[in-house]
Structure 1
Amino acid sequence: MVHTRQAGPPAAGSSASGAVTFDEVLAELAERRVEFREQRYVSRDFVARLKQLGLYRASTPAKFGGEPLPPAEFLDRIERISVVDGSTGWVASFGSSLVYFAALPLETQAELYADGPDVVFAGGLFPVQPAPPTERGFLVNGRWKFASGCMGADILGVGIPGDDSTGGKPRTALLRPEQVEIVQDWDVVGMRATGSFDLVVRGVDVPREWTFIRGGQPTVDEPLYRYPTIAYAAQVLAVVGAGVARAALDYAEEVGAGYAGVTGAPKLADRAYYRTEIATAEAALRSARAWFYELSHSVWETVVAGDAVTDEQNAQLRLASAHLAKTSSDVVGRLVEISGTAPINQNHPLQLLLGDALVPKQHAFLGPAMYDAAGAVLMGQPPTTPGFR
């Protein structure tokens, strides 16, 4: 199935009207998460509900009407959503990605936020596609993958090559949804409702001032844009895994207290190995989560004080994020192992959570290479992974 939109220049979105509480939105999500999973994306009307919660102005500069949140506060909100549905937490997490826009010219940012500070951005940045220079900017053609949340986006981005002026780092070219074709070919076992579809662009001339480098030098002087951009991008994905693992633990503890197997064996809570694994999982998740948030608070204090974030602080943020993603996935995997035959059913809650928990750990920002890169920096060596900071 292909969803097609027509051409035009970039434009932003504004929030839906009406007050709504966080708990009300979570209750609605609990009712609709199956709908989202079946259609493979979070519906635009629910994205509007997330706008009402302020998630899509949480990284908009205050000078453009935004209400920037300290990273730890934003992360906590994403984690709460992810306990109910990991896919929706993943989509909501990209409310943080407006930090990238701080590297755009101020005039471009003013146009982006002209209709309000609540802007939903989705990007399919890889594989980077050739974009020959034009008089205005770059001629963009190609197909890009993994554009999570694109069905509800106000602005879309695609990856094009960098040059000497970008230090070799790729650019992201911004387009309005009408300039992009969305190909709905997402068929996965984890984070199924993220709508991480392909983006296709055919011959759009994107002005240079509508391109940016992820983590590029900000043109806005506010604290949030001095927080490490790529580390923050890794954090918002890792915390989704933590929410999923919390949901799995809550389920396993509730079911274990009352479930008896078909063989007549003791209920799960009466088995020593089950109790031990539940306790071990609680300790592992809570410990990884505590370190993760401790570092976020500490680095934010550095930023607010006007000091530069050190390479070591950035490395610890990256390491804590990768560790939280791995720990979360491991926790869910162990819960499946100790839960007997029930989770082999395709729609068993733990089976669905297992797929969701796997996705953050597999992301390039959070994979095994992050341990090597962080270890190198902590020992005074250059990072071993490109784009580590």
Structure 2
Amino acid sequence: MRRPCPHVRRSTVETTRTPTQAELVRRVADLAPLLRSHADRADQDRRLADESVAALTEAGLFRMRVPLRYGGYESDAATMVAVATELGRADASAAWTTGVAWITTFMAGLFPDEVQDEVFATPDLRMCGTLSPSALAEPVDGGVTVNGRWGFVSGALHSQWQVLVAMMPTPDGRQLPIMALAPLADLGIVDDWHTSGLRASGSVTTVAENVFVPAARILPLPAVLQEQYASKQNADSEIFRGPLLPTASASSVGTAVGLARAAIDVFLERLPDRKITYTTYSSQGEAPLTHRQVADATLRADAAEFHAQRVARLLDTKNASGGQWTVLERARARADLGRACELALEAVRILRQASGGSSIYTSAPIQRIEHDVQAINLHALMHGDTNLELYGRVLCGLEPNTFYL
């Protein structure tokens, strides 16, 4: 059975202008103690606490990719990376879910304007979705009927709309992947999110059973991946110029960086009171090995942030100029995403290993940090090996073996 979305009152955050990056990061810092206080329970419940969702909403974080005309902020990519990094330091599942909402909200902004009028009826819209075409869409009069299911739908338990991707037969006998929009009320939910990481993201499976989607809420996915968007009013907006995959990369990469920073935070917090058992070190902080470990982990976190910011900088620069993206730039955005996630994982693992036997208790934050960053690195679009191979193919003059660029 599908749980109803929790009632969250309309945000009172000022919407007459777009908040600066510093303002949004400060809002996250202000709500971080609340997110941390609910993190353990959310991890056990396998969904974000309603209080956390309400706090994220009140802070205006779900507005960051909503068009200005609907009370949104249209925040740039650099701001998304900075905000997600700060969120990731507090609660990776909250950061991850928010980043997914940014991606799918951006996708909703690509649809015809009359569709957006329906979807963005509230500026505090929460969206979810996936790019996997794991359902079938049968053409019917006025639209399609969708049947199928989608796994890993982060934030579905708290969202009002979902981006659906399905395969639709064409008159010539081929299959066309389409991107569509449907209210969560039209879908069922399978409570199958039993995982080792990002447990509080509630990334459940959603199910469509003969769900009708009108033609206006359907876009051909190949056209979307070539920046052939349907919105007229968003055509002059910088953030709605960019390609989907680099936009998704910039939306999600900050969570991994935040986890690396979180590992450093919790390790240094424990350091003064922790000795190294069976040695003469009364404080772990006195050991030269510890100095090397902390420095190594911090530099890897710094390097992860470099790659995250490079994705954002490329996206923001291209969006501002309206310039065409090369295949090499698209592949590099995927490579930067993968490398940032790998480096964040390496940083966390160094400090996890240095945390000793007492860190195996579930009450130790470092163990959840490691599980969460590992889960991110297993994501198909973030996998370091996949993205490295893709970038290398293009560097070697070969065609990419994916259209997800």
Q: Same fold (TM over 0.5)?
A: yes
In structure 1, what is the Cα distance between the partners aligned to 2:77 and 2:131? 23
Query: Secondary structure of the equivalent of 1:103?
Result: coil
2:364 aligned partner: 348
The Cα RMSD (Å) is 2.5
Q: 2:252 aligns with which of 226, 237, 242?
A: 237
In structure 2, what is the Cα distance between the partners aligned to 1:282 and 1:269? 15
CA 1:330/1:174 → structure 2, altered by over 3 Å: closer, same or farther?
Answer: same
How far off is 1:25 after superposition? 1.7
1:325 aligned partner: 341
- Whether contact under 8 Å (2:101, 2:128) holds in the other structure is no
CA 1:232/1:14 → structure 2, altered by over 3 Å: closer, same or farther?
Answer: farther
In structure 2, what is the Cα distance between the partners aligned to 1:45 and 1:336? 29
1:280 aligned partner: 296
Farther off after superposition, 225-234 or 241-250: 225-234
Farther off after superposition, 125-134 or 30-39: 125-134
CA 1:365/1:162 → structure 2, altered by over 3 Å: closer, same or farther?
Answer: farther
Query: Secondary structure of the equivalent of 1:381?
Result: coil
How far off is 1:169 after superposition? 5.9
Matched to 2:322, the amino acid is G
Query: Secondary structure of the equivalent of 1:307?
Result: coil
- Whether contact under 8 Å (1:239, 1:325) holds in the other structure is no
Q: Where does the alignment leave 5 or more consecutive residues of structure 2 unmatched?
A: 15-25
CA 1:87/1:144 → structure 2, altered by over 3 Å: closer, same or farther?
Answer: same
Matched, 1:67 2:82: no
In structure 2, what is the Cα distance between the partners aligned to 1:230 and 1:18? 30
1:160 aligned partner: 166
Matched, 1:302 2:309: no
In structure 1, what is the Cα distance between the partners aligned to 2:285 and 2:100? 39
**CA deviation digits over 1:288-330, x for unaligned, max 9?**
3123313422441232123223333222221111100011111
1:172 aligned partner: 179
Structure 1 consecutive aligned stretches of length 4 or more whose deviation exceeds 6 Å: none
1:217 aligned partner: 228
1:337 aligned partner: 353
In structure 2, what is the Cα distance between the partners aligned to 1:44 and 1:154? 15
- Whether contact under 8 Å (1:14, 1:117) holds in the other structure is no
1:106 aligned partner: 113
In structure 2, what is the Cα distance between the partners aligned to 1:162 and 1:275? 57
- Whether contact under 8 Å (1:40, 1:195) holds in the other structure is yes
**CA deviation digits over 1:6-41, x for unaligned, max 9?**
9xxxxxx98433679433322211221122212111
Q: 1:253 aligns with which of 268, 284, 307?
A: 268
Query: Secondary structure of the equivalent of 1:56?
Result: helix
In structure 1, what is the Cα distance between the partners aligned to 2:321 and 2:181? 33
Matched to 1:378, the amino acid is L
2:207 aligned partner: 200
How many residue pairs get matched?
Answer: 379
In structure 1, what is the Cα distance between the partners aligned to 2:318 and 2:166? 33
In structure 1, what is the Cα distance between the partners aligned to 2:147 and 2:4? 15
2:23 aligned partner: none
- Whether contact under 8 Å (1:129, 1:161) holds in the other structure is yes
1:16 aligned partner: 11
Q: Where does the alignment leave 5 or more consecutive residues of structure 1 unmatched?
A: 7-12
Matched, 1:121 2:123: no
In structure 1, what is the Cα distance between the partners aligned to 2:394 and 2:212? 40
Give identity over the alignment, percent.
22
1:3 aligned partner: 2
Matched to 1:16, the amino acid is S
Q: 1:377 aligns with which of 377, 388, 394?
A: 394
Query: Secondary structure of the equivalent of 2:323?
Result: coil
In structure 2, what is the Cα distance between the partners aligned to 1:205 and 1:296? 37
- Whether contact under 8 Å (2:48, 2:201) holds in the other structure is yes
- Whether contact under 8 Å (2:285, 2:291) holds in the other structure is yes
Matched to 1:281, the amino acid is A
1:182 aligned partner: 189
In structure 1, what is the Cα distance between the partners aligned to 2:149 and 2:321? 43
TM norm structure 1: 0.89
How far off is 1:182 after superposition? 1.5
CA 1:264/1:312 → structure 2, altered by over 3 Å: closer, same or farther?
Answer: same
